[in-house]
Amino acid sequence: MGGTFDPIHYGHLVTAEEALVQFNLDKVVFMPTGMPVRKTHRMVTSAEHRYLMTVIATASNPDFEVSRLEIDRPGLTYTVDSIKALRDLHGSQVELYFITGADAVWDILTWKESASLAGACTFIAATRPGFDLGRFAEERERGILIETMEVPALAISSTDIRSRFSERRPVRYLLPESVAAYIEKNRLYADGAES
């Protein structure tokens, strides 16, 4: 599961757990992005903070792991490269799934390199409110495997959580308390860097 995780929240965690069970996965690897291509318009919190928040949030789940693959790779992060890297790392016998929100799968698949994703992995697209699943028909025709999955807690977003921190509105029940404490301790979203 790739993401900026700025910060990680219950939407991500619920989605990962649901995918684990519904698709009978051995584990879910959370992979915080290094320099996300699509988010260059705002200051993204340092990779090290995002990595640590992801570790804190997932620590209690024996089936969750966090990968440094993207944050240790210099330059902009392309999801296509990460999927190829995972395939190289695990070999051809392992079944790989890429878990994303349905909106994000759409972003990935509209890239020019997306043709090379056919057969590389199966996408698990968690549906967010208002998302039209019929949109994937064309990708499926191109040989890209996309499964869909309905998840609760879909309205939670990192963007909203960042504004809540900077405006001192409640964040309880949106993300793990340990992550909220880490954010407070390091004053990550205190100065209006929420957009």
Q: How far apart are CA 83 and CA 120, in angstroms?
A: 7
Q: Which of 74, 129 has the CB closer to ligand ATP?
A: 129
15 lies in the site for ligand ATP, by CB under 6 A: yes
Q: Which of 45, 67, 82, 158 binds ligand ATP (CB under 6 A)?
A: 158
Among 19, 151, 183, 188, the residue binding ligand ATP under the rule CB under 6 A is 151
The tokens of 23 are what?
A: 């698709």
Binding ligand ATP (rule: CB under 6 A), the pick from 53, 101, 144, 188 is 101
Based on the shown chain and the rule CB under 6 A, indicate whether residue 163 belongs to the binding site for ligand ATP.
Answer: no
CA separation for the pair 104, 81 (Å, rounded) = 16
List residues near ligand ATP by CB under 6 A.
Answer: 3-6, 11-12, 15, 100-101, 103-104, 126, 151, 153-154, 156-159
